[in-house]
Amino acid sequence: MSIFEGAGVAIVTPMHADGSVNYVKLGAIIEDQIEKGTDSIIICGTTGEASTLSHEEHLDVIRACVENVKGRVPVIAGTGSNSTETAIYLSKEAEKIGADALLLVTPYYNKATQKGLIAHFTAIANAVSLPIVLYNVPGRTGCNILPQTAVTLARNVKNITAIKEASGNISQIADLFALADGCLDVYSGNDDQIVPVMALGGKGVISVLSNVAPAQTHAIAKACLDGDFKTAARLQLEALDLCHALFCEVNPIPVKAAMNLLGWEAGPLRAPLTEMEPENQERLKKAMQAYKIL
């Protein structure tokens, strides 16, 4: 059984002006997402600025998410690290807190060989009982999970059940589907590729777009799940300019700016991320207006 089907939001971590986590706003954003059809909340991922949260904050944010969601949709907690030991610690704590699944990014900076990736993910998976979503985003980590590696993990580690594919390489993703033959659920990690990935058999998307357009993102994924790819393609193309604007600077700079434009008071970014350049903020604003969410 899949962890979820449809549109999961890679949710932002709202912050006060002083950079501390704004738990009240986080709760409000989660509530709005669930009301508008979001199928899963992915907390403390890239978009949630997990890399600049302390371990204590990281776990407190996961706890706040679990408490606000109250079991209504699955909570997938980002607990990956470039240190296997750290990832095991965060994963075990997230399981105690009550997360429904874990999202594990590939090791970054020190990276790993494919053999190292198998050892890394296997060690983490064996330390917990929760289902695990591998997270392949080589553009950020410099480390690519090859299709054979993902399939080897899925077939040999019982709780490695899914992968968030954000390589952007549709040929590689097609090879993954062919090799996996159903043993691994695949989620699109790129909002501009929801329909192509789901047309190949993907279960949904883990989405940045959903922060600012939850109902619309859910509609794209639902149309795919319903087999209405003509509607899904139209909806995907309508969102394309906004998808591009949300990544015209490194994520989550644009999406936090977009949330602030929508009045969510998502607050500032933590260093080393900086506020959006004025010309890019104008581009983002125009894309939001054209998409009729602003």
Q: From the candidates 25, 89, 96, 135, which is the catalytic residue?
A: 135
Whether omega before 138 lies within 30 degrees of 0, making that bond cis, reads no
Q: From the candidates 164, 203, 222, 256, which is the catalytic residue?
A: 164
Say whether 164 is catalytic.
yes
Burial letters 163-189, b for 16+ CB under 10 A, else e: bbbbbeeeebbeebbebbeeebbbbbb
pTM strictly above 0.75: yes
The pair of three-digit structure tokens given for residue 239, joined into one six-digit string: 């969102």
Burial letters 248-268, b for 16+ CB under 10 A, else e: bbebbbbbbbbbbbeebbbbb
Q: Would you say 251 and 213 are in contact if contact means Cβ atoms under 8 Å apart?
A: no
CA distance 183 to 50: 29
CA distance 13 to 94: 17
pLDDT in tens, the chain (294 residues): 899 999 999 999 999 999 999 999 999 999 999 999 999 999 999 999 999 999 999 999 999 999 999 999 999 999 999 999 999 999 999 999 999 999 999 999 999 999 999 999 999 999 999 999 999 999 999 999 999 999 999 999 999 999 999 999 999 999 999 999 999 999 999 999 999 999 999 999 999 999 999 999 999 999 999 999 999 999 999 999 999 999 999 999 999 999 999 999 999 999 999 999 999 999 999 999 999 999
Q: Would you say 198 and 145 are in contact if contact means Cβ atoms under 8 Å apart?
A: no
